[in-house]
């Protein structure tokens, strides 16, 4: 028996029950925090500063329907491009815009997406 357990065993039964209840509540709260922060799994999205090679991608908690909206050009007439991960783990992304989308292949692993309304 460890020292804290031995000390708890010497307490009155009502105090032992209260400590046990509090320990279960703490464990449940820690589980909830882990689920909400995605601590048990790697999120499907990471943010990276392309101009700073010293920092790696930073994982971001991501829900299936979360969307990042880009306004590609300052002062534009409200043109936007939305990017989302519709099915995390599937390897696909969904791109939506408020005008026609032009996708240009740059190489086998790079594409450019342009909102033709700009």
Q: What is the pLDDT along the chain (118 residues), one digit of tens a residue?
A: 567 788 889 999 999 999 999 999 999 888 887 777 655 555 556 666 666 667 666 666 666 677 888 887 776 667 788 888 777 777 788 888 888 888 899 998 888 888 776 5
Same domain as 81, residue 23: no
The answer on 81 and 30 residing in a single domain is no
Number of domains in the chain: 2
DSSP-derived letter for residue 3 is H
Q: Given this model, what pLDDT does residue 77 score?
A: 64
Q: Write down the pTM of the prediction.
A: 0.49
Instruction: Give me 73's structure tokens.
Output: 């050009």
Do 67 and 109 lie in a common domain?
yes
- On whether both 49 and 101 belong to a single domain, the answer is yes
User: Which run of H or E residues covers position 98?
Assistant: none
Compute the distance between CA of residue 37 and CA of residue 39 in angstroms, rounded to an integer: 5
Residue 16 structural domain? 3-37
| 113 CB burial (10 A radius; 0-12, 13-18, 19+) | middle
């Amino acid at each position: 028996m460890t020292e804290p357990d031995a000390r708890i065993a010497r307490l009155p039964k009502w105090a032992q029950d209260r400590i046990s209840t509090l320990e279960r509540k703490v464990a449940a709260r820690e589980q909830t925090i882990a689920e909400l922060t995605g601590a048990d799994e790697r999120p499907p999205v990471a943010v990276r500063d392309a101009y700073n090679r010293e920092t790696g991608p930073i994982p971001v908690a991501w829900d299936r329907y979360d969307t990042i909206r880009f306004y590609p050009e300052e002062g534009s007439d409200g043109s936007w491009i939305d990017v989302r991960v519709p099915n995390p783990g599937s390897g696909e992304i969904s791109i939506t815009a408020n005008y026609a989308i032009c996708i240009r292949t740059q190489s086998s692993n790079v594409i450019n997406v342009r909102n033709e309304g700009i």
